[in-house]
A and B are shown apart, each in its own frame.
Chain A
Amino acid sequence: MSGAAPAGEPPGGAVVIDTHAHWYPKEFIALLERKAAQHGARMERNARGVPVFSLPGVEPKSAMPPLMVEPELIVTEMERRGIATFVLSLTNPMVYWAPPAFGLELAQTWNDASTAVHQAHPARFIGTLQLPMQAPELAVEELERAAKLPGMRAVYLATHINGRNLDDEAFWPVYERCEALGLPVFLHPLYPCGGERIATHFMRNLCGNPYENGLAAASLVFGGVMDAFPRLTVMLPQAGGTFPWLIGRFDRGVAVRKELAHMKRPASAYLRRFYYDTVSHHPRIMRFLIEMVGADRIVLGSDYNQDMSCERPVDFVGEMPDLSDAERGMILGGNARRLLGLSG
């Protein structure tokens, strides 16, 4: 990435990078519209003409409104929010639901669209790689290809792959290549576990999503992934979800439980192997998180453009108690630049 920072510079000169922003490229939507039905999924349009993807019996459906599709609209929204750069990612339905060959095609389409939008707006958009993790050998193949595309600076993974936790050794070749390529892994919840127990009161999202982050982090820590790949960095959305708040319990488990007798260090020794975005909707909880993991591990996120997103993420960072200017600059953009290996 090069060129002058566009509008969106807060006091202190930090270039604001939003690491949690979702995008459905029109090419990706078009591919779903052509082929999703033949693979058991459904594409339809809602009353407003917005494409909606669904899998039978699976919640939520995925609506793809213009603000999450059209780059020009996204740029306008970024300017309004004071964001210089979006790190774009896919979100539900991701691509794991599809048969491997179609999953690969979807991933390739997403990755090609991501690099194209980066090239059209190099200071505005960074891409994250989508991989067909349901077929790890295809995932590695696509990783090798897409890592070479301009502007692709992270790998995006769900917190489970069709019900398999992330420590499954089938996924280790992907982690190995991520580490070798210097690409951080950004995680995101998808179709959380919990079934009927989280079916009411929007608990599927309010609880289910942060629960997924805790399960994913625990799986990576306890399942040996963080040890096997010591230079691999993982980003957790929603301020780490439940993970940081369970760390005492995890440490106690390591100290006393036979299921964790293989652990050479407490779970808390891994807290700083993760980055955490700011999507907690609670400035004081962010202050607590900074005290737990360090300000150098927090990156701005918004969850653009879901209703559960933080619409004014820069203002939100400003509301965090007792933040020094240096910490603020790190959270707004400095940490993300380091995490993503961006110059400047």
Chain B
Amino acid sequence: MPIFDLHAHWFPQPWIDLLEREAHMNGARFTRNSKGHPTIDIDGVPLKSVFRPDMVEPGIMLANMNAAKVDVRAMSLTNPMVYWAPPAFGLKLSQAYNDACAALHAGHPDRFIGTIMLPLQAPDLAVQELERAAKLPGMRAVYMAMHVGGKNVDDHALWPVYARCEALGLPIMMHPVNPLGIERMRQFHLRNLCGNPYEAGIAAASLIFGGVLDAFPRLDFMLPHAGGTFPWLIGRFDRGVAVRKELSHMKQPASAYLRRFYYDTVSHEPRLIRFLIDLVGADRVVVGSDYNFDMGYDRPVDFVDRVPGLSERERKLILSDNAARLLRL
């Protein structure tokens, strides 16, 4: 039984090299910190990204996977993604990422799966790159932030991308960037602790209430951080559908869509995953680690084993079967 981790981040060296060469022409500053690690500082992006060796070098990543008892990782980009860039550079960054991912998979086909990064700030270019990258070996999902330049993910400009993802059988794995409400979240790491899971609630609500899940009935979405706030607001969402004119277009309660999503295990609370399983089903929960951030799991498989009342069947679904089904492996 191969164990999958679907929430792991990677900054490929060719992608960093591209930033080093061209970021300064595209509104960003590439520098190195005191440890010599590359960093990128982008106008309007509060979080400064640091590219450490453990999130760059495949050898270190493999050693970590072995220690963490993870067989296969789906690698994804994270902050700063590529939407901040002018469209042409966003496309170039996406291509560099996708090519590197396919090469990583080709080098270690049993260890790494790639997720496709797209320049969603220019949906036409995104569709173009999607068609190209979907043909690359080992690219089994599309990776997408929970908003694109402040626009929610039900924006109709993104629907051609959804149409192609559905047709190509590629799930969309979501991730927060630059969360809302920053003016209230400057202290205590609240930008991450609250802002990131808040983004998941907004993204799920937008996909449900904005009609994306109805328009693309075979499209799967994965939410990180155990769905963030979304599952726990579902009663409130259902009440909204029942009584509010803004939601009078809804034909089903919001809770009917809970199982249209997959949820990773990055909650840091084993009991919460038990509740989540009871709410959405064990067949909708997949392992995540948020490799290799301090807010992630060092030992994501050990965490699964701390979930109370987990049957052998549920354990196998979460560690392996669900991910294989979601990624159509």
Contacts and interface: CB of A to CB of B under 8 A. Distances in A.
Given A193-B180, A215-B194, A257 B189 contact: yes
Contacts, number: 165
Nearest to A207: B201
A215 B184 contact: yes
Chain B interface, >50% SS class: helix
A119 interface: no
Size range of the interface on B?
35 or more
B189 A206 contact: no
A211 B229 contact: yes
A222 B181 contact: no
Interface stretch (A11-19, A45-53, A170-178, A280-288): A280-288
A205 B243 CA distance: 13
A38 interface: no
A223 B279 contact: no
A322 interface: no
Interface in A172-226: 193-198, 200-203, 205-207, 210-211, 214-215, 218-219, 222-223
> Most chain-B Cβ atoms within 10 A of its Cβ — which of A211, A249, A252?
A249
Interface string A273-313: 00000001110110010011000000000000001100000
Interface in B272-299: 272, 275, 278-279, 294-295
B138 interface: no
A223 to B, nearest CB: 7
Residue of B240, B244, B271 with most chain A CB atoms under a 10 A cut-off: B240
A222 B180 contact: no
A31 interface: no
B49 interface: no
Which among B183, B271, B275 has the highest number of chain A CB atoms within 10 Å?
B275
Contact of B202 (A207, A246, A247, A249): A207
B320 to A, nearest CB: 23
Interface stretch (B33-41, B159-167, B203-211): B203-211
B189 A201 contact: no
A248 interface: yes
A256 B295 contact: yes
Interface residues on A, range: 35 or more
Contacts of A198: 180, 202
A260 B198 CA distance: 20
Contacts of A256: 294-295
Interface string B209-244: 110000000000000010001011111111110011
Which of B192, B197, B236 counts the most chain A CB atoms within 10 A?
B236
A201 B198 CA distance: 16
B233 A251 contact: no
A90 B237 CA distance: 24
Contact of B268 (A200, A206, A252): A252
Contact of B189 (A197, A238, A260): A260
Contacts of B193: 218, 246, 249-250, 253
B189 A259 contact: yes
Contact of B198 (A207, A280, A282, A308): A207
A67 to B, nearest CB: 15
Contacts of B243: 307-308
A119 B166 CA distance: 64
Contact of A249 (B225, B236, B271): B225
B76 interface: no
A207 B205 contact: yes
Given A202-B247, A281-B239, A308-B243, A211 B294 contact: no
Interface string B144-156: 0001001010100
Nearest to A292: B271
Given A201-B246, A215-B194, A206 B236 contact: yes
B180 A195 contact: yes
B188 A246 contact: no
Contacts of B115: none
A25 B315 CA distance: 56
Contacts of A205: 240
B56 interface: no
Interface of B: 147, 150, 152, 154, 180-181, 183-185, 187-190, 192-194, 197-198, 201-202, 205-206, 209-210, 225, 229, 231-240, 243-244, 246-247, 267-269, 271-272, 275, 278-279, 294-295
List the 4 shortest-distance A-B pairs measured between CB atoms, nearest first.
A282-B235, A248-B269, A248-B268, A281-B235
Interface of A: 160, 163, 165, 167, 193-198, 200-203, 205-207, 210-211, 214-215, 218-219, 222-223, 238, 242, 244-253, 256-257, 259-260, 280-282, 284-285, 288, 291-292, 307-308
Given A195-B180, A207-B202, A260-B189, 15 more contacts: A160-B184, A193-B180, A197-B180, A200-B210, A202-B244, A210-B232, A210-B236, A215-B184, A245-B272, A253-B193, A259-B187, A285-B232, A288-B271, A292-B271, A307-B243
6 contacts: A202-B244, A219-B188, A246-B197, A248-B267, A285-B232, A292-B271
